[in-house]
Each structure stands twice: as C-alpha cells, then as structure tokens.
Amino acid sequence: MNIKAQAWAEEARKAPLEPMEPDEVAKVIDNTLLHPEAVPENVVRFVEESLKYPFRAVVVGPNAVGVAREAIGNEKMPLVSVVGFPMGFHPLDVKMREAELLVRAGVSEIDYVIDISLAKRKDFRALEREAKALLSFGVPLKAILECGLLSDDEKEGSAKTLASAGVSFVKTSTGFLAGGATLYDVALLHFAVEGTDCGVKASGGIRKLEDLQRMMLAGADIIGTSSGIRIVQEAF
C-alpha cells in the first residue's frame, strides 16, 4: 500500500464538495456506450442525446464508429473508440490493425487495453513498444491498465512507462473485468505520472456526480462513464 496515495484517497473521500456547473461537469466526461448488445438505433439515440451537452467526447465500440460518425455529422464532438477491448491480450499486430481501421473511420482518440500479462511480468520495455507502435497512427492514446488485476508496483511501473512513451492518459479500468475505478488507484496513478504530460482517466462504476467529484479530488483529470447525462443533470 502506497501511504501517500492512501492518504490522498482518504482525503478525497472525506472532503466537502463544492457545487459544479453542468457544463463544467460535462467537459471532463467521456460519455460512453460500450454495451455489446447496442444496435444502431441505440447508438444514434446515444449520440443525439450526448450532443445536447458539451461532453469531452463520446466513446463507442468499433462496430458502432460509422453509425456514430454519421450521427455526429458536422458537430464538433470528438469520437473515441477502443482497441484490444476488454481483455488486452490481442497480439500487437491485431491491435495495430484495429487502430488503423479506427483511424481510417475517423476516430479522434483511442482507448486501448494494455497487454496485462506484460505488466504482470514487469516487462515495461515491451509495454513501451506496444504504446509507441499504437502512437504511430497519430491520434492520442489512453492506456487502460485494469488496475484491479495489478499490484501497486505493476500499476506504478506501467503508468510511468506509458507516460514516458507518450500516451495522453493512463486509465484505471475497462469496467468489464476486475471492478471499476477506486480513489486509491486514481491517486496512485496520479502520483506515478506527476510531472509528465500524461493525465489520469477514471473509469468504471462512476454513476453519480459525487463519484465524479471525488475521483477528481483524488487526481483524475477526466472521467469515463455510461452515466454522463445523468451526472450532468445532477448539477442543474
């Protein structure tokens, strides 16, 4: 247990919360639809509802990128999709092909799941090679660590390596595997990338405005959630 991160997380858990303006809330949210059962009608409705708020971005599955891009039309909403999702164990050449197709389809950013086995082995050079290969497509990357499967040393070493490689954000979790974001993991990642250009994205289990605010107090820069609209509406 990292004592500094633990203390920071505990402070975030107990701190009084200040009101936030709805637009202020929306601008830190990647509003997300990654349900495997989502059909095109769901995607269109999700995008249309999301466009009513100034979200940082919308996130959809690779099979929904075309539909989402068409629904966004001429609006300036960034479109994000995922690579190696949710397990991360795809060979690098498969992840590269996924990324290539997404970039061709017009995504603005990619959230990819790292090869978790590399983090478990502390093969940080291989993690760096994976990140740099995916960065070659020229779009910002968020690297998903799946913190619930890693030790503190594995999280910290991975985060430092990925920040050095040039990813834009390290992300706590997919929300599909080993639980969601925790205040402790957010604080741990925050201190791991402190002093770099890399931020922290908290994702998984963030469903209320209070959840968002406490994650940000713990060190999150942006939030991934499928409850973005509900959270923004809480701020009105």
- Terminal-to-terminal C-alpha distance of the chain: 38
Instruction: Tell me which of 142, 160, 201, 211 is the catalytic residue.
Output: 201
Q: Is 111 a catalytic residue?
A: yes
Q: Map tokens 């996924």 to a residue.
A: 98
CA atoms within 13 A on the CB side of 226: 14
- Token pair for 90: 């795809």
Instruction: Tell me which of 142, 171, 185, 211 is the catalytic residue.
Output: 171
d(C-alpha 236, C-alpha 54), whole Å: 14
Q: Is the dihedral of CA 45, 210, 2, 200 positive or negative?
A: positive
Burial track 113-128 (b if 16+ CB lie within 10 A, e otherwise)? bbbbebbeeebbebbb
Query: 141-144 and 199-203 as β-strands: parallel, antiparallel, unpaired?
Result: unpaired
Q: Are 83 and 167 in contact (CB under 8 A)?
A: no
Q: Is 208 a catalytic residue?
A: no
Q: Is 27 a catalytic residue?
A: no
Instruction: Tell me which of 111, 115, 185, 211 is the catalytic residue.
Output: 111
Angle between helix axes 209-218 and 183-193 (nearest 10 degrees) is 40
Catalytic residues: 111, 171, 201
